[in-house]
Amino acid sequence: MAGSTPVSLTADPPVAAASATPARKARFSPGREAWRRFRRHKLAMASTVILGLIVAAVVLGPLVWRVPINEIDFSAKLEGPSLAHPFGTDDLGQDILARMLYGGRISLAVGLAAMLVACFVGVLVGAIAGMSRGSVDAGLMWLADLFLALPQLPLLLLIIYLFRDSLTKVLGPEGGVFVMVVAVIGGLRWMQVARLVRAQILSIREKEFIEAARALGASNSRQVVRHILPNALGPVIVAGTIDVAAAIIAESTLSFLGLGFPPDIPTWGRVLFDAKDTMDMAPHWVLFSGGAIFLAVLSINFIGDGLRDALDPRRVL
Amino acid sequence: MSRQYVIRRLLVMIPSLLGISVILFCVLAMAPGDPFAELAANPAIPPEVAASLRAKFGLDDPVWMRYLHWIAAMARGDWGFSFASRIDVDTLILQRLPTTLMVIGAAQLLAIVVALPVGVLAGTRPYSIFDQVANTLAFVGFSLPTFFTGLLLILVFSVKLEWLPMVYRADLNVTGWQWVVEQVRQSIMPVLVLGLFQGASLVRYVRSAVLDVVRLDYVTTARSKGIGERRVITRHIVRTALIPVVTLVALQMPIIFGGALVTEQIFRVPGIGSLLISAMLANDTPVVMAVTFVLACLVVFFNFIADVLYGWLDPRISYR
Amino acid sequence: MAEKLLEIKGLKTWFKTDDGVVRAVDGVDLHIDRGETLGVVGESGCGKTVTARSVLKLIDMPPGRFEAGEILWKGRDLIPVPAQEMDKIRAREIAIIFQEPMTSLNPVYTVGDQIAEVLRQHDKLSRKQAIAGAVEMLRLVNIPNPGKRVHDYPHQFSGGMRQRVMIAMAMSCKPQLLIADEPTTALDVTIQAQILELMQEMKDKLGMSIMLITHAMGVVAETCQRVVVMYAGKVVEEAPVEALFGNPRHPYTQGLIRSIPRVDRAAAQKERLEAIPGSVPSLLNPPVGCRFAARCKFAMDVCVKAMPPLKEVGPGHRVACVL
């Protein structure tokens, strides 16, 4: 990326790396060093601003743009962008901007919540595998490999197909679909985090300060929480960021296939799904909703790349 | 490459397939309610069909018995009967599978043809203008959801320019060369959508693998032999960089099939992806289960292919 | 006066990094005569390896850059030579072997293929002839059963055997100069001696020159005719091997020689091994004066003001010190 990854530059002349880095490290704390590296990733910085604006828009937007999301007006259907409707209207004459501001909250919330689920499960599995070793470790890693080989989207669809009705009965149409989508997307994306945490544990638990802690009688779980997890944090944050983007795409895909949120909850994928049949008459409808998904996902991916430069500089991919 | 290596990789597939079948069956078994209640109430299904299905799935047996029955039936090729299409599920899937494989294969080919040179060029000139442009475009490429790119292409090439047909038709009523031309025309957009999405992530993989390899000592050795930069890149850098790329592509397999599913749905390509969606919308459980399982098997199978390829590319592996 | 095969004049190879310009090689002068073995010694990071790789232009550019100087190969400056011309010199006239035999060979090709690649490129041999040539080369470096081993992959060889393969590869076009960049550092002590012996044998058979880069003074004493001592990107002393060990003039050279462990003395007098205090200065902002001044026990005011130039103190013995 633009002016990033200092390692690969200094790694070429071995002389340079040896003499230049210690002086650097002494001057900056790890946090400031990471921030310095992140700031140099221009696209990541720009993406942070864009994502910030998107988040601000969906959080504060509905307070400012007080147009109801379900006001049907057949006289104004499928209109292009205008002052009254900056993003135009849909086939029922509803204001697309208002719908997207409201639906964006759910799209982003699904991404964030699914990432948290994935990280929680991943850290748990990775920590158990890393600390226990032996057959438990082997079994859990086999499970992770197995999950990596599962065709996620079909499985996602299958689970939603089978469970949707009963969950909606318990939690209502909105809550039911939300809980299910978050649980399933998160539950199918924990493997990467689990592997990272396990690998970190395996490498760190050999290091001296863990030996020292063990000699002092610290218990296994204490070791994980106090010493190992903070060290594994960088790669996990990077993986988690990418997971947010993937979860947003997964939710949009479900909604786009007509198997996600119901029509009265206009997540961006749902808006796009509704828009696709009148694409020839109202292209703005498709462009705004698809563009919102694209912009959010792109900026999250760039932020992830910047974070990787900042927190996990050894890895290139 | 030794034969034992291939056999070993084949044997590894068995627990994977069993594991996946257990997961799928658990999902089905945990599903609340009776998955066949719908069809019992459906007047279009003769009651004896419903009854035989109930018997075959042994809905009153303990879970493990039901699993064994189910897996035995799947292994025998007895995949049940589609309520919606009124034919056997295996026939239905076999009808649809070639189309899916063709679209995925063509897309993968396109992805490799585009991504390999771009990734190698970017990786051998890190931080150059070319690298930065390629990398940024790659990010844009895999941040664009396939359903959105599909719609954009339709909007541009079908609606505005009217160059390409909007939907894919299995029953083209032309023959000979005309048929080939039409077939290509209607395949362009689905293959493009899927191929560019794959290509975008492939560019990143190839670039990073090349970046890892160019620093290695044997590349300097190769340069010191005076064989020319072109041969250093093709023979020494690309050849070894392909090894990790193969693994990464194998890991991408589930995503590739997910992408194919969406693409088929957008362009109405009659493959197993669109079969899955339509079966779900029609509550056609036997088809849903079978298609999901077939997709899982395909992923495992392509992982096997990748493993064999890996062993062929890396002599250190297959000699072990 | 023997013919100068290679002459490096005022070479500066700098690297642009995020932290600034690293002056890895900062004005190096040295030459190698036909048929001699020149030792280049110094601590890790003193610029020996960069100097060696500069000769074959194996420095990645960017971040590297030739800032100044000339690399005269048989009188012709290699720095402006285009890449294609350079490829005709590599392996055919100047060959190089590296420190790490474990990683210097490509793991996905047989050693035969990798040796044959050189022969096919430069001697325009067919594949079959080239493989036969590779078998010959393996035999020359004393690899047992070369006809069979030629089809093995690098991971099927031990470290010492791989270094023999590297030497076979380097020798295959009978170059006039072999640059050996710490060829024995990564090997077991017993294997080290064998490899040095093999290089000596090759040298005698083919009549080539060797530029032996090492940080082991003992190796230098055994194999070289002349020695160049480098410190922080510069040459501080240059002398015939007897003069250097008999009468080291630069304080840094004196320190290096004192730091050689000597079994006879250590056992007899329980003398402590002397280390040079301090560490190598940063090559990012090297001091203006003598770069060794900060660690030198004889340092005076003049030392920190300007770098003393190399001056002749004996036949072929030059030193960059005011003392």
Among the residue ranges B72-86, B274-288, C104-118, the one predicted with the least confidence is B72-86
* C262 three-state secondary structure: coil
**Alpha-carbon gap: C320 to the closest alpha carbon of chain B (Å):** 32
> What six digits make up the tokens of C114?
């990798």
Task: Select the highest-mean-pLDDT range: A26-30, A209-213, B77-81, B247-251.
Answer: B247-251
Q: Which of residues 105-124 of B touch C (CB under 8 A)?
A: none
Question: What's the confidence (pLDDT) of residue A5?
Answer: 34
- Does B145 contact A12 at a Cβ distance shorter than 8 Å? no
List CB contacts (< 8 A) between B32 and chain A: 163, 165-166
- Whether residue B57 is predicted with pLDDT greater than 60 in this model: the reply is no
User: What's the confidence (pLDDT) of residue B119?
Assistant: 92
Q: Under a CB-based contact definition with an 8 Å cutoff, are residues B261 and B276 in contact?
A: yes
Query: Of the candidates C316, C249, C264, C283, which has an alpha carbon nearest to the alpha carbon of residue C43?
Result: C283
Q: Which chains touch C (3 or more CB pairs under 8 A)?
A: A, B
User: In the predicted model, is pLDDT for residue B189 greater than 50?
Assistant: yes
B209 has a chain C CB within 8 A of its CB = no
Q: How far apart are CA C237 and CA C253, in angstroms?
A: 7
Q: Which residue of C has its CA nearest to B221?
A: C104
Mean pLDDT of B271-290: 84
Question: Which residues does chain C have within 8 Å of residue A1's beta carbon, measured at their own beta carbons?
Answer: none
Confidence of residue A317 (pLDDT cuts 50, 70, 90): very low
Distance from CA of A25 to the nearest CA of C (A): 12
Contacts with A1 from chain B: Cβ below 8 Å: 132, 135
Identify which has the larger pLDDT, C43 or B50: C43
Q: What average pLDDT does range A93-116 have in this prediction?
A: 85
Answer yes or no: do C105 and B221 touch at CB < 8 A.
yes
Distance from CA of A289 to the nearest CA of B (A): 9
pLDDT confidence of residue A229: 67
For residue A27, pLDDT over 70 is answered with: no
pLDDT, tens digit (0-9, with 9 covering 90-100), for B151-167: 888 888 887 787 877 77
CB contact under 8 A, A20 and C19: yes
Q: Which partners does chain A have (≥3 C-beta pairs < 8 Å)?
A: B, C
- At A26 the pLDDT is 44
Q: Inform me whether the C-beta atom of residue B157 falls under 8 Å from chain A C-beta atoms.
A: no
In the block, which residue shows the tokens 């939690």?
A171
Residue-wise pLDDT tens digits, B290-310: 888 888 888 888 888 888 888
Contact between A102 and A62 under an 8 Å Cβ cutoff? The reply is: yes
- CB-CB under 8 Å, C103 with B226: no
Q: Is residue B87 part of a domain?
A: no
Q: Which residue has the higher pLDDT, C154 or B89?
A: C154
Residue at B208 is within a domain: yes
Q: What pLDDT is recorded for position A306?
A: 86
**% of chain A surpassing 90 pLDDT:** 7
**Mean pLDDT over the full length of chain B:** 82
Helix, coil or strand: residue A150: coil
Separation of alpha carbons B311 and B316, rounded Å: 8
To the nearest 10°, report the CA torsion of C137, C139, C142, C146: 110
How confident is the model over A200-238, as pLDDT tens digits?
A: 777 776 666 666 666 666 666 666 666 666 767 778 888
End-to-end CA separation in angstroms for chain B: 10
Fold (topology level) of C4-93+175-265+274-319: Rossmann fold (3.40.50)
Mutate to test the interface with B, among C49, C104, C106, C185 (most CBs of B within 10 A): C106
CB contact under 8 A, C45 and A10: no
Residue A22 has a CB neighbour count (10 Å cut-off) of 12
Instruction: Compute the nearest-CA separation of A146 from chain B (Å).
Output: 6
- Residue B87 exposed, middle or buried by CB count within 10 Å (0-12, 13-18, 19+): exposed
Residues B218, C169: C-beta atoms closer than 8 Å: no
* Residue of C88, C106, C156 lying closest to B218 (CB–CB): C106
Quick: pLDDT tens for C213-257: 988 888 888 888 999 998 888 888 898 988 888 888 888 888 888
If you average pLDDT over residues A272-289, what whole number do you get?
Answer: 80
**Residue C216's pLDDT is what?**
82
Domain that holds residue B217: 96-319
* For chain C, domain boundaries: 4-93+175-265+274-319, 102-174
Structural domain count of chain A: 1
Whether C81 has its CB under 8 Å from any CB of chain B: the answer is no
A-facing residues of B in 84-143 (CB < 8 A) are 126-127, 132, 135-136, 139-140, 142-143
Task: Identify whether B47 is part of a domain.
Answer: no
Asked if the structure places residue B64 within a domain, the reply is no
Per-residue pLDDT, averaged over B129-155, amounts to: 89
- Tell me if B273 sits within 8 A of B260, measured CB to CB: yes
Give the residue carrying structure tokens 């490829």. C87
The alpha carbon of residue C3 is apart from the nearest alpha carbon of chain B, in Å, by 25
pLDDT computed for residue C2 by the predictor: 65
Which residues are CB-neighbours of C217 under 8 A, at least 6 positions away?
C41, C256, C257, C259, C260
Task: Please name which of B276, B248, B251 lies closest in space to residue B261, comparing C-alpha atoms.
Answer: B276
Residues with Cβ within 8 Å of B249's Cβ and at least 6 positions away in sequence, in order, are: B202, B205, B306
How confident is the model at residue A24, as a pLDDT? Answer: 42
Which pLDDT score, from 0 to 100, does residue A199 have?
83
Q: Does residue B12 sit within a domain? A: no
Domain span at residue A262 reads 105-317
Mean pLDDT of chain A: 76
- Which residues in chain C land under pLDDT 50? none
What's the pLDDT score for residue A197?
Answer: 84
Instruction: Please answer yes or no on whether C24 and A15 come within 8 Å at the CB atom.
Output: yes
- Report CB contact under 8 Å: C17, A14: no
ipTM of the complex: 0.83
Judged against a pLDDT cut of 70, whether residue A14 lies above it is answered with no
pLDDT, residue A298, reads 92
For range A66-95, the mean pLDDT: 72
Is C268 exposed, middle or buried (CB count within 10 Å of its CB: 0-12, 13-18, 19+)?
exposed
Is A112 contained in some domain? yes
pTM of the predicted model, to two decimals? 0.81
Interchain CB distance below 8 Å, B251 and A148: yes
Per-residue pLDDT of A155-207, as tens digits, reads 888 888 888 777 777 777 777 788 888 888 888 888 888 888 888 777 776 66
pLDDT at B111: 92
State the pLDDT at residue B313.
85
Q: Is C121–B227 a contact, with Cβ atoms under 8 angstroms apart? A: yes
Confidence band for A300, pLDDT divided at 50, 70 and 90: very high
Question: Does the CB of A244 have a partner CB in chain B at under 8 Å?
Answer: no
* Number of domains observed in the structure of chain B: 1
- Indicate whether A64 belongs to any domain: no
CB contact B31 to A (< 8 Å) = yes
Of B139, B140, B155, the CB nearest to A286: B155
3-state class (DSSP) for residue C313 = strand
Q: Chain B: residue nearest A10 by CA?
A: B215
> Chain C partners of A7 at a C-beta cutoff of 8 Å?
none
Which residues of A, range 7-36, sit inside 8 Å of C by Cβ?
9-10, 12-16, 18-20, 23-24
Identify the band that residue B255 occupies on the pLDDT scale cut at 50, 70 and 90.
confident
**CA proximity to C50, closest of B233, B237, A313, A18:** A18
Main-chain dihedrals φ then ψ at residue B170, nearest 5 degrees: -80, -30
| A170, part of any domain | yes
DSSP state letters, C54-95: HHTT-S-TTTEEEEEEEEEETTEESTT--HHHHHHHBTTTEE
CB B47: neighbour CB atoms within 10 A? 10
Name which of A30-34, A297-301, C42-46 the model is least confident about: A30-34
- A16/C17 CB distance under 8 A: yes
Name which of A159, A162, A166 to mutate to probe chain B: the one with the most chain B Cβ atoms within 10 A of its Cβ.
A162
Q: What is the pLDDT of residue B56?
A: 61
pLDDT at residue A116, as a whole number: 92
The verdict on residue B72 lying in a domain is no
Assigned domain for B22 exists:
no
Q: What is the CATH number of the domain that holds A152?
A: 1.10.3720.10
**Residue B40 confidence (pLDDT) above 60:** no
- Residue A23 has a pLDDT of 40
Work out the minimum CA distance from C53 to partner chain A, whole angstroms. Answer: 11
- At residue B121, the 3 state secondary structure works out as helix
* Residue B37, domain member (yes or no): no
Mutation pick from A47, A146, A180, A297 vs chain B, by most beta carbons of B within 10 Å, is: A146
Q: Which of A86-100, A221-235, B188-202, C67-81 has the lowest mean pLDDT?
A: A221-235
**Which pLDDT score, from 0 to 100, does residue B35 have?**
53
Kindly state whether C222 is in contact with chain B, defined as any CB-CB distance less than 8 angstroms: no
Backbone φ and ψ for B296, nearest 5 degrees, come out as -65, -40
C169 and B225 in contact by Cβ < 8 A?
A: yes
